[in-house]
């Protein structure tokens, strides 16, 4: 079945970036199983943190599509938006292993800043062709590291906790 035909039969299309990573694969699996009428597109560059073995149990699901692509590639992101016509983005793709940032901070800038910018720009451009931004959702999920560290008696983080990131550079 052609991809466009497969997508047209689905009610909505959700692109999940970083969907082959540890957390992303759980999100992809949840959405594929919970929303069988939605087309779930897993977009992942398959770097050291991505592993399609995490998704072996759903790889043949009729509402699941994997696309190997890097969010740093702005042109490819625009192509993906045009091809899949998403209703929502769940943006999980990120470099998040702080210890790795010491040896290679460039990858963090490329993925976390440039890649996220590319996703936002592709979404903004897509909005203008889709017609109404209020029908489109972009969810950017970050790690708990943006909140800093908890001490043994500190309360758990919540939605109103102020950002207080720490890194070896601060």
What residues are annotated to the active site? 169
Looking at the DSSP bridge assignments, the partners of residue 5 are none
Instruction: Report phi then psi at 112, rounded to 5.
Output: -75, -30
SS (H, E, C) 62-74: CCEEEEECCCCCH
Round the CA-based radius of gyration of the chain to a whole number and report it.
17
DSSP line for 76-135: HHHHHHHHH--SEEEE------HHHHHH-HHHHIIIIIIIHHHHHHHHHHHHHHHS-GGG
């Amino acid at each position: 079945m052609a991809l466009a035909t497969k997508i047209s039969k689905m009610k909505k299309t959700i692109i999940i970036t970083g969907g082959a990573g540890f957390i992303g694969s759980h999100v992809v699996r949840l959405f594929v199983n919970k929303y069988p009428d939605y087309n779930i597109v897993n977009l992942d560059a398959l770097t050291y943190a991505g592993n399609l073995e995490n998704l072996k149990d759903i790889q043949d699901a009729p509402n699941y599509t994997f696309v190997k692509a890097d969010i740093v590639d702005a042109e490819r992101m625009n192509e993906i938006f045009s091809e899949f016509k998403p209703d929502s983005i769940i943006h999980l793709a990120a470099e998040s292993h702080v210890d790795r940032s010491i040896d290679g901070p460039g990858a963090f800038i490329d993925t976390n800043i440039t890649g996220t910018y590319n996703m936002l720009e592709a979404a903004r451009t897509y909005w203008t062709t889709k017609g109404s931004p209020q029908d489109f959702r972009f969810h950017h999920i970050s790690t708990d590291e943006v909140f800093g560290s908890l001490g043994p008696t500190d309360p758990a983080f919540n939605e109103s906790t102020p950002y207080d990131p720490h890194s070896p550079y601060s």
